Structure 1
Amino acid sequence: MPPSSKLPENSARGKTRSIFERITQQGAIDLANEQEENIYLFVPNLIGYLRIVFAALAVYCMKNHPKVCAVLYCISAILDVADGMAARAFNQTSKLGGVLDMVTDRCSTTCLMVFLSSAYPDWFNVFQFLIALDFSSHFIHMYASLVTGATSHKLIQSEVSKILWLYYNNRITLFIFCAGNEIFFVALYLVYTSKLPTLGISPEIVHAVVPALVKEQISAALLDGVSAYVAGMTLAHIVAIVSFPICFTKQIINFVQFWKASKTLVGVDLSERANNRQKKQ
């Protein structure tokens, strides 16, 4: 069993206790076996299982059926919103559901980025880094929340991080960044796999809208190259361009989440070491 993470009694930052001090692992398993309340069948958890099915089907279709994959992937993501609404409506929030959502999100996004890393080999290392950052930041944040006794990893105080507080405590903000992040990767996937109709922007239109001052600063070959690229753009290209800033900001949030959780665990370690020294005196 993990060591106690009780903070000193004179701590100015609260006197929370670790969840591990309230119940042992064997005690938790005994309660689960008794099944006084079947949390497995909570409505939001049932939706969570359905999310896994859609995500698995999306991964299965990823190589050969891009449009079907994109639809299934988006349905799985939309159900993430639905299970949260169900949890609040039926008063059926649970740690199982919270972790299930996070694991489903991490696994489905990772599968998509693994595909993208092979589709865009020049960006292979970038996708590897994003996968590592996504997993590590959420794992360490979840663990830090548990050892400090938080009832949910989304309960962030503004004193801890204003960025994370704004991210987790506003459902609209949380939805925008989570959705925008996934939409960007799905758009990149469709750019590579789907032969969507172009937007019909001719090279002549591009030449006409580019200011003369800009034309003077770039070569004719570069302008022709840009014009040809724009002429071949599809709706997926536009979605990727629009959602990129959201996705980029989401990676910054992931980094902040990793850093703050790391500092939290360092604080817990210092508290435990101080308690151990007091016990030895």
Structure 2
Amino acid sequence: MNCFAFAICFKDKSLFSILYFVSFVCDALDGWFARKLNQVSTFGAVLDMVTDRISTASLLVILSQVYRPGFIFLTLLALDIASHWLQMYSTFLVGKVSHKDVRDSSNWLFKLYYGNRKFMCYCCVSCEVLYILLFLLAKENWGLIDVLVNAATQSWFYLSSLTLVIIGWLIKQIVNVIQIKTAADACIVYDINKKQ
């Protein structure tokens, strides 16, 4: 679905957005069904994260072409991939079954994010919806701030919707930074213990 969506993204923004969002929802549902039907696997968890990263990365690359300068979207792409890759790698280094097992973390936001599926869902959906909205609202020769201000001043609905998704998006970016630090620390501790 996403392959077709990205193939037509500049021809039909609305259809692209619908297909991308439906694909995102299906991606969330497949994990839920896997847990409910007791069909969870390491391969499934890794594949899920890889497909999530590819989808988001592709959308961020498109946004980097729509908005100039596109550096902010490429930075978000790097943060997203680095934080998730390091988290997955450090999780398996220390012998945990899931990258979402952060019970031993001392950071309350990190534990809340991975410990409360509804909160994590809010942050993830906010992030993807914000990116879709930015793609839909983009206007030729308009900067990112211009688009956001224009949308926010159009109506109370746009303002409240953007506020809601920007808060969730911001929390997710903060969690990504925490995730990088936590995962890097776990790798360092692993190296120290290995040398002893």
**TM-score interval for Structure 1 and Structure 2 normalised by the shorter chain:** 0.7 to 0.9
CA RMSD of aligned residues (A): 2.3
Give the gaps of 5 or more residues in structure 1. Answer: 1-53, 194-224, 275-281
Unaligned residue ranges in structure 2 (runs of 5+) = 140-145
**TM-score of the aligned structures, taking structure 1 as reference length:** 0.62
Match of residue 154, structure 2, among 215, 233, 258: 233
1:191 matched to 2:137:
yes
Residue among 112, 126, 137 paired with 1:166: 112
Identity between Structure 1 and Structure 2 (%)? 31
Q: Which one has a bigger Cα radius of gyration?
A: 1
Q: 2:171 aligns with which of 244, 249, 253?
A: 249
1:64 aligns with: 11
The structural deviation recorded for 1:104 is: 1.0
State the Cα distance separating 1:235 from its structure 2 match.
Answer: 9.4
The question of 1:82 aligning with 2:29 is answered yes
- Corresponding letter in the other structure for 2:108: K
Task: Work out whether residues 63 and 73 of structure 2, in 8 Å CA contact, stay in contact via their aligned partners in 1.
Answer: yes
Q: Is the 8 A contact 1:184 1:247 kept in 2?
A: yes
The question of whether the paired residues in 1 share the 8 Å contact of 2:60 and 2:131 is answered with yes
The 2-side partners of 1:237 and 1:112 are apart by 21
Which of 263, 268, 271 is residue 185 of structure 2 equivalent to? 263
Q: Is the 8 A contact 2:109 2:175 kept in 1?
A: yes
Amino acid of the structure 2 residue aligned with 1:156: V
Query: 1:183, 1:240 within 8 Å by CA — same for their partners in 2?
Result: no
Opposite residue 233 of structure 1, the aligned amino acid is Q
Give the Å deviation of 1:245.
1.7
CA 145–68 in structure 1, closer or farther in 2 if over 3 Å, else same: same
Q: Distance in 2 between matches of 1:192 and 1:237?
A: 14
Query: 1:273 — aligned with what?
Result: 195
Where do 1:104-115 residues align within 5 Å?
Answer: 104-115=51-62
Whole-angstrom CA distance in 1 between matches of 2:189 and 2:151: 52
Give the Å deviation of 1:241: 4.0
Q: TM-score, normalised by structure 2?
A: 0.87
Instruction: Tell me if the contact between 1:167 and 1:173 (Cα under 8 Å) persists in the aligned partners.
Output: yes
How many angstroms apart in 2 are the aligned matches of 1:247 and 1:231?
Answer: 16
Offset at residue 255 of structure 1 (A):
0.3
Residues 236, 191 of structure 1: alpha-carbon distance in 2 compared, 3 angstrom cutoff: farther
Cα distance, 1:250–1:164 mapped onto 2, change above 3 Å: same
Q: CA deviation at 1:231?
A: 9.6
Contact conserved, 2:113 with 2:120, CA < 8 A, in 1? yes
Offset at residue 230 of structure 1 (A): 6.3
Structure 2 contact 151–158 (Cα < 8 Å) conserved: no
Structure 2 residue identity aligned to 1:152: S
Kindly tell me the number of residue pairs found equivalent between the two proteins.
187
Change (3 A) 1:230 1:92: closer
| Cα separation, partners in 2 of 1:105 and 1:234, compared to 1, 3 Å | farther
Q: Within 1, Cα distance between the matches of 2:74 and 2:39? A: 36
Structure 1 residue 117: deviation in Å?
1.0
The structure with more helix, counted as a fraction of residues: 2
